[in-house]
Amino acid sequence: MRTQGKDMVWRLLMAALLVIAGAQAGMAQDVTFRTYKDVAGFSCEFPSDWDFDQARNFDRIFTSAKAPDATIIIQVIEQDKAAEKTVAGQLEALKQQLLRAPDGRILNEGTAPIAGQQVPYLVAGYTALDTADTQRAFRHIQMVVTTPRAFLLMSYSAPDESFDREMRVFQNCSATLQIEAAGAAAPPVSSQPAPEQPAPQPPAAPEGQAQDTEVPDAVAPGSEETLIWRHNTDRDFWIAVPSIWSNKADQSEPYSVDMQHPDRVEGVIVFVVDMNKTSKVKEYANAWELVLADKIFFMKDRLAVPQKDHPGVGVAKTPGIMREYQGEINGATVRSVAAYVVNKKRGFTVVGYHFLGDAKGEKRIRAAVESFRLAAP
pLDDT at position 151: 93
CATH topology of domain 6-28+223-371: Protein Transport Mog1p; Chain A (3.40.1000)
pTM reported for the whole predicted model: 0.49
Picking from 74-88, 216-230, 240-254, 359-373, which range would have the lowest pLDDT averaged per residue?
216-230
Q: Which residue ranges make up each domain of the chain?
A: 6-28+223-371, 33-179
Query: What is the three-state SS of the chain?
Result: CCCCCHHHHHHHHHHHHHHCCCCCCCCCCCCCEEEEEECCCEEEEEECCEEEEECCCCCEEEEECCEEEEEEEEEEEEHHHCCCCCHHHHHHHHHHHHHCCCCCEEEEEEEEEECCEEEEEEEEEEEEECCCCCEEEEEEEEEEEECCCEEEEEEEEEEHHHHHHHHHHHHHHHHCCEECCCCCCCCCCCCCCCCCCCCCCCCCCCCCCCCCCCCCCCCCCCCCCCEEEEEECCCCEEEEEECCCCCEEECCCCEEEEEECCCCCEEEEEEEEECCCCCCHHHHHHHHHHHHHHHCHHHCEECCCCCEECCCCCCCCCCEEEEEEEEEECCEEEEEEEEEEEECCEEEEEEEEEECCCHHHHHHHHHHHHHCECCCC
- Name which of 258, 210, 307 is nearest 1 in CA terms: 258
- Average predicted confidence (pLDDT) for the chain: 81
pLDDT at position 181: 80
Picking from 187-191, 302-306, 358-362, which range would have the lowest pLDDT averaged per residue?
187-191
Is the pLDDT confidence value at 209 over 50?
A: no
Q: Which CATH architecture has domain 33-179?
A: 3-Layer(aba) Sandwich (3.40)
Q: What is the pLDDT of residues 216-242, one digit of tens each?
A: 334 444 567 889 999 999 899 999 999
Over residues 280-287, mean pLDDT: 93
Is the pLDDT confidence value at 337 over 50?
A: yes
Is the pLDDT confidence value at 55 over 60?
A: yes
Q: Do domains 6-28+223-371 and 33-179 have the same CATH topology?
A: yes
Over residues 259-287, mean pLDDT: 90
Model confidence band, residue 83 (pLDDT cutoffs 50, 70, 90): confident
